[in-house]
Chain A
Amino acid sequence: MSEVVLTGVVKRYGPVTALDGVDLTVPAGALTAVLGPSGCGKTTLLRCLAGFERLDAGTIRVHGLQVAGPGRHLPAHRRRIAVVPQEGALFPHLTVAANVAYGLDRAARHGDRVDEVLALVGLAGYGDRMPHQLSGGQQQRVAVARALAPRPSLVLLDEPFSALDAGLRAGLRHDIREALRADGATAVLVTHDQGEALSVADRVVVLRSGRVVQSGSPTALYREPADQWVAGFVGDAVLLPAVAADGAARTPLGVLPISGATPDGPVTVLVRPEQLRLTPASTDAAVTATVLRHDFHGHDALIALRLADGTRVTARIWDEADPAPVGAEVAVHVEGRARAWPAPPSPAPVDTPALPVG
């Protein structure tokens, strides 16, 4: 088991600073997701970890051993850090078994390890196939088995599911997480898909513009995002201008209790769409809204609403057999607590989720 620690990692490409002082700890035996929008530096981070790029500053330690730092650059092949690239990158001239055995030393190549890891990824008996005889998902499984075989200190997965279709992705994601866990591997998964990161990772690190914005468990990240940007990036968010006083905020959705300590004064509050409850409009309702649009997703639906004061919000509903039609008036009520950050927020749109719905 090995812990990986990055301290103040900086990587520049000419005038572009891809990594701007990244501090990060990857706990041993766990799957850590590095989540960020494209261009945030997550692939650079992965390449620096693997040893394909040299750092401009900072250090990387694997299990206490410094592999990169001032005056030191342990080459990729001596780091014991195996990568699973986006497209698998199986060696086209080798069989599946030979691909998997590639990182093993001569003695181990004919041992049980190849069969063991192939079984772990659900491809027992595929050893004699050639890569081009496999489907995209199977190729990815082989790539994971190949990375696991030499029992590396760390497995790096570079958006390994992005090229697969959605149905396949969920199953493969689960299987690969199980394989990594069964093998006791320490792994870093790089992804831009917040659903993927939240669902498979033990820990999520959010990266933006080459810096770590927040890291924590998936639930902490979703429930207590460090700022509005993270709130919108990891899930659908309703962000509203408000005024805080005595642990509550006066918002267009009424007075809401705030979680955590926020100084009194102007704030921005976050409620998740699933905290909104809709009931048929009645005269004594505190807040009413007009239904603008339905986005039906099968297991739930997102309903776009316009409040009486013109603010737009989104509600997630689950079990309504007959939801209020577009144009209808409904009463809106918020369950649970809101999260608040001191205003002034940027003149950000507060009426729509930060991510496109669906």
Chain B
Amino acid sequence: MTVTTPDAGPARNGPARFGVPGRLRRLAPRPALLVASTAAVAVALVPLVYLAVRTAEAGAERIGAELWTERVGLLAARSLGLAAVVTAACVVLGVGTAWLVTRTDLPGRRFFAVLAALPLAVPTYIAAFAWVSTVDRLEGFWPAALVLTLCSYPYVFLPVAAALRGADPAQEEVSRSLGRGDWRTFTDVTLRQIRPATAAGALLVALYVLADFGAVSILRADTFTRAIFVAFDLGFDRTGALVLSCVLVALTVLLLAGETATRRRGARYARLGGARRPANRLRLGAARWPALAALVAVAVLALGVPAVSLARRLVSGVSRPGALTEVATAAGNSLWLSLAGAALTMLLALPLGLLTARAPGPVATVLDRLAYLAHALPGVVIGLSLIFFGITVARPLYQTSWLLALAYATLFLPLAVGSVAGAAAQAPPGLEEVARSLGRGPLAVLRTVTLPLTLPGIGAGAALVFLTGMKELPATLLLRPTGTDTLATELWTATSVGAYAAAAPYAALLVAISALPTWWLVARGGLLDKEDR
């Protein structure tokens, strides 16, 4: 055997570095990733800094006067109540649907899997308009809860369905063999297996509800977001709005802390070797009819109502002269802004996602949680803070699409970070070690092993960010360059003056374009795969 030894000869690179580097590495693993992640989180926290600075300008007395009022208490109770109700409903609906389409012999389950994900393509303000224009005098807490639930349960459904497909059926079989029935096995084993996925989805829903603006303002549910927008919009009560925003941030911190505290350690990496066996599907028997009826009912409420409402007005809306070019321009703007936002978000999310997956620890957890903070801020607050940022700090960015892309990145960073972390788990470090032991350098390993295994997951994250960017309304309204209209803003403009017919084409196109990445997300989750057995 011939031995070629690259880098032969005694290399004396600097003084002996024994012991110390090891300790440093443990304290600060992956320095390059850490620096890039910190930078990403810093960008995401720009709005928070603005908020803190502007609020502090008001002075303690003024803040106190705004804070300790009955209204703030009421708003807090109502916002948290809405978040709690919607999250609970989404967990029940999302987990139930996911279980039915992945683990039972329900007829048409692939069709229902698509239907269950499609509400992602329906922005809450479109759904709310559809309901308001269908049912008279619909307003208040419970209608808002209904609309928000129907729009956001896919945030639970998608991760849980993926987890159910990926869960090791051996554990359930062991449970059954030890005498637990189907139901006990489901509650004691299956629910625990999918707990991380459920918790992640529930957290997204809760944050989404806290930050939602469209549905609560149309349905006149008085929450923090609406109160903040009203205060900003009227223009004379900035301090009040800032204080309310701060309270909202505090609520978010509580929510994140609660979720972190209940988190448990689990397997972070995909199992190596051994083919994954699909779980046995449960025979529903006669129970299939009520199950089918429930899924159909949810689909009718979540998709049917908006679809019928839009279709009714679409005919008159499109027939208006000049409508098509306007719609096309707005669609082009929407696409471009969402793509730019998705690209920027993924760029920021990559190091953070890799850090949480590869070097978990207190530092990574804190950075990850910080990234969530901005996600919960209403788009209104993000929008205003970035205007401030653009005028005072980043003048060249002001009035360009990049400032809006930055807003999207701030808002949607956690969505992307989650996808990247999940994708990184698909490429266990053991594989990279083997690759290195076979003589490939770090870049070659990244190109030939890590990226091929993680790109699909990263792509799914980008699709999710793109989709959410298409639907985003308040920050887009505030930050779009003058004269640039998107589908969402045109829709808002038309509906705010009651021109429902003119709004319909924008709404229809927005939903149609959003449906494409949604479809891809469903297909990627393996929910459309041919039968396993």
Contact = CB atoms under 8 A, between A and B. Distances in A.
Given A56-B19, A76-B433, A89-B272, A82 B438 contact: yes
Given A65-B8, A147-B438, A136 B274 contact: yes
Given A54-B22, A92-B453, A63 B438 contact: no
B273 A163 contact: yes
B10 to A, nearest CB: 6
Interface in B155-196: none
B1 A83 contact: no
B452 interface: yes
Contact of A80 (B3, B13, B26, B434): B3
Nearest to B274: A136
Interface centre among B1, B7, B431, B444 (most CB of A within 10 A): B1
Given A56-B19, A91-B449, A77 B3 contact: no
Nearest to B273: A87
B18 interface: yes
A70 interface: yes
Nearest to B452: A93
- Which secondary structure dominates where chain B touches chain A? loop
A184 B11 contact: no
Contact of A153 (B3, B274, B275, B453): B3
Contacts of A76: 433, 436-437
Contact of A2 (B1, B10, B21, B453): B1
A21 to B, nearest CB: 14
A87 B272 contact: yes
B442 A77 contact: yes
B362 interface: no
Interface residues of A, number: 51
Interface centre among B1, B17, B438 (most CB of A within 10 A): B438
A296 B338 CA distance: 73
B452 A71 contact: no
Given A89-B428, A163-B273, A71 B13 contact: yes
A102 B435 contact: yes
Given A82-B438, A146-B438, A71 B14 contact: yes
A48 B224 CA distance: 56
Contacts of A57: 18
Interface string B23-62: 0001000000000000000000000000000000000000
Contact of A82 (B3, B274, B437, B444): B437
Nearest to B456: A93
Interface in A73-91: 74-83, 85, 87-91
A89 B3 contact: no
B483 interface: no
A83 B433 contact: yes
Contacts of B21: 54
B266 interface: no
Given A56-B22, A66-B10, A50 B437 contact: yes
A72 B437 CA distance: 18
A66 B12 CA distance: 12
A129 interface: no
A257 interface: no
Interface centre among B10, B13, B16, B22 (most CB of A within 10 A): B22
A97 to B, nearest CB: 14
- Which secondary structure dominates where chain A touches chain B? loop
B262 interface: no
Interface string A11-55: 010100000000000000000000000000000000000111011
A152 B2 CA distance: 9
B448 interface: yes
A150 B438 contact: yes
Nearest to A90: B273
Contacts of A14: 26
Contacts of B12: 71-72
A83 B3 contact: no
A333 interface: no
A168 interface: no
B436 A77 contact: yes
Contacts of B5: 63, 65, 80
A152 B434 CA distance: 13
A150 B439 contact: yes
Contacts of B321: none
Nearest to A52: B433
Contacts of B8: 65
B430 interface: yes
Nearest to B15: A71
Interface in B84-125: none
Contact of A83 (B2, B275, B437, B448): B437
B312 interface: no
A277 interface: no
B448 A102 contact: yes
Nearest to B9: A65
Contacts of A152: 438-439
B10 A78 contact: no
Nearest to B21: A54
B396 interface: no
B453 A74 contact: no
Closest 4 CB pairs of A and B: A103-B438, A76-B436, A87-B273, A87-B272
Given A50-B433, A71-B18, A77-B437, 19 more contacts: A2-B1, A55-B18, A57-B18, A72-B12, A77-B435, A80-B3, A82-B437, A82-B438, A85-B433, A89-B431, A90-B273, A91-B435, A91-B449, A92-B453, A132-B275, A143-B434, A146-B434, A151-B2, A152-B438
6 contacts: A2-B1, A51-B436, A63-B5, A79-B437, A85-B430, A153-B3
